[in-house]
């Protein structure tokens, strides 16, 4: 990313996951996990989701002839993701509760053998998602930092698994340090990291505009802390204002439309450069996890310069005035 690199005096690369079939990195894990479900003869799959897992599972399961059932926390799923989930034919259960409650439903259904669970507790999801690491190292070789948004922390653990496999195979010598970014009011792991602990306290009511990481009790929280310590990495948090700033920077400096959760990476990068943790000239990859069209409402609400014109001549006048 030329302009962002210049801005931060770094070598910054974006791993853009918005071009996957349903517009997020979730497709990587879902492709593998649904293939396994089909192989096992599963008839019904289920997931809890803040949106992208549901959209991806619906698409892959329908294609495989398996019935997708999604459990969504009521009123907290971005419009684009909801539209995809419906379009791809999932049965939708809207639960009056949080993501963590939706996940409890999934665990109970799995326990009773009613449906096969496709949340990232399913190890095949992790196997698919680790390919992000393969691709980064394949294209760039040595990298100093990889920055990833953290919700349930499946992705950051997947990436570390992929990196370690490459190292064990002798395909890369020095592994990048991992940065996990959480939203300030949904950041249980950051607090644990600051105390150098492996024990984290769940956040009861997580809040952030970045709905994909609005998670209070990360499923892979312990593993995420371990991989961050092992990689000599960092966990930090960023505010909603910083996220919106970063979303605009990506959209306007690089022409990359990403959803708020993905923009946390650039907000985190700015913070770490300011703090002197990431230093000039280093090679950094930010994982841009989901497409900007996933959440059109956020974009519409924030930062547009717009005018109303009731006639052709008025529209022409407005534009000629503001471009003067
Ligand atoms: C799922 C998701 C995340 C969070 O990933 P985890 O594996 O839950 O940490 C971040 N960004 C987007 C766009 C997502 O869909």
**Per-residue confidence (pLDDT) for residue 65, from 0 to 100:** 98
Which spans in the chain are helix H? 2-8, 26-39, 52-64, 79-87, 99-111, 123-129, 131-140, 154-168, 188-194, 221-230, 240-253, 260-274, 296-301, 312-322
Lookup: tokens for 160? 């570390």
For the entire predicted model, the pTM comes to: 0.95
Check pocket membership of 24 for ligand 1, CB cut-off 6 A: yes
**Per-residue confidence (pLDDT) for residue 148, from 0 to 100:** 98
Walk across the sheet containing 145-149 and list its strands.
11-16, 283-288, 145-149, 177-183, 234-238
Lookup: tokens for 177? 């340090």
**Per-residue confidence (pLDDT) for residue 157, from 0 to 100:** 97
**Per-residue confidence (pLDDT) for residue 304, from 0 to 100:** 66
**Residue entry with tokens 């940065």:** 179
Q: Report the atom number in ligand 1 closest to the C-alpha of 129.
A: 7
Q: Report the atom number in ligand 1 closest to the C-alpha of 258.
A: 13
CA distance 232 to 275: 16
Check pocket membership of 212 for ligand 1, CB cut-off 6 A: yes
**Per-residue confidence (pLDDT) for residue 303, from 0 to 100:** 62
Test site for ligand 1: of 33, 52, 77, 85, most ligand atoms within 8 A of the Cβ: 52
pLDDT less than 70: residues of the chain: 303-304
């Amino acid at each position: 990313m030329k302009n962002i690199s210049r801005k931060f005096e770094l070598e910054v690369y974006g791993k853009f996951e918005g071009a996957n079939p349903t517009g997020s990195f979730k497709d990587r894990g879902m492709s593998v996990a649904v293939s396994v479900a089909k192989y096992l003869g599963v008839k019904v799959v289920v997931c809890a989701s803040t949106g992208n897992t549901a959209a991806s599972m619906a698409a892959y399961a329908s294609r495989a002839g398996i019935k997708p059932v999604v459990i969504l926390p009521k009123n907290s799923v971005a419009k684009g993701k909801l539209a995809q989930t419906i379009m791809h034919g999932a049965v939708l259960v809207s639960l009056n509760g949080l993501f963590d409650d939706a996940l409890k439903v999934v665990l109970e259904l799995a326990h009773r053998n009613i449906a096969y669970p496709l949340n990232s507790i399913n190890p095949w999801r992790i196997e698919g998602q680790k390919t992000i690491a393969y691709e980064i190292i394949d294209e760039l070789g040595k990298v100093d930092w990889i920055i990833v948004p953290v919700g349930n922390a499946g992705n950051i653990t997947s990436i570390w698994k992929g990196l370690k496999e490459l190292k064990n195979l002798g395909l890369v010598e020095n592994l990048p340090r991992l940065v996990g970014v959480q939203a300030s009011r949904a950041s249980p792991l950051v607090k644990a990291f600051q105390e150098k602990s492996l024990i984290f306290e769940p956040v009861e009511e997580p809040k952030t505009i970045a709905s994909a990481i609005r998670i209070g009790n990360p499923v892979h929280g312990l593993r995420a802390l371990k991989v961050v310590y092992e990689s000599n990495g960092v966990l930090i948090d960023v505010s909603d204002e910083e996220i919106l700033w970063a979303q605009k920077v990506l959209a306007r400096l690089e022409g990359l439309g990403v959803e708020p959760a993905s923009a946390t990476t650039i907000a985190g990068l700015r913070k770490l450069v300011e703090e002197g943790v990431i230093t000039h000239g280093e090679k950094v990859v930010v994982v841009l996890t989901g497409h900007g069209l996933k959440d059109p409402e956020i974009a519409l609400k924030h930062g547009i310069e717009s005018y109303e014109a009731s006639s052709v001549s008025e529209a022409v006048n407005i534009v000629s005035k503001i471009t003067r």
